[in-house]
Structure 1
């Protein structure tokens, strides 16, 4: 199972974030400790993840899906956020 970074910028006023958030959560185990940024664990390809989420964003919104290498460094997160990263990157 790969770690995948998902980040977005919803441009359209009044966009319903909850719909996109639920779609991301449905993809697998997830981390969401930074606004508009998620990390998930998934067996889906990056293209499959993008395709599953793009129906929840408008044509002028931005969506980025990246595979993670397993390495990382961070600061400022509480224990739960840090523990998830340590266990899942």
Structure 2
């Protein structure tokens, strides 16, 4: 399993992106403590994850999928959120 950082910029104000959120949450292991940033742990490749996200986004939306290098630093998250990151990254 690989951890990917997923970030997006959705360009359709007021659009219902429920299917995108449902897709991201469909992965067994995910973290979402920032507005448009997720960490998804999956067996998918970065390209496969990107393509899955694209199926639930508009053509003018922007998103980024980056494989985690295992090292990170953060601040301001709950103990639970921080522990999840330590274990998954």
Same fold (TM > 0.5) = yes
What is the distance in 2 between the residues matched to 1:68 and 1:55? Answer: 23
1:87 aligns to 2:65 (yes or no): no
| Structure 1 counterpart of 2:33 | 33
1:24 maps to what in 2?
A: 24
- TM-score normalised by structure 1 residue count: 0.94
Q: Map 1:1-89 to 2 at 5 A.
A: 1-89=1-89
Q: Equivalent residue of 2:58, what SS?
A: coil
Partners of 1:54 and 1:82 in 2: how far apart? 29
CA distance in 2, matches of 1:17, 1:87: 29
Cα pair 2:8 2:63 within 8 Å, conserved: yes
TM-score by length of structure 2 reads 0.94
Unaligned runs of 5+ in 1: none
Distance 1:25 1:8 in 2: 15
**Runs of 4 or more consecutive aligned structure 1 residues displaced over 2 Å after TM superposition:** none
Tell me if the contact between 2:17 and 2:57 (Cα under 8 Å) persists in the aligned partners. Answer: no
Q: How many corresponding residue pairs?
A: 89
Unmatched runs of 5 consecutive residues or more in structure 2: none
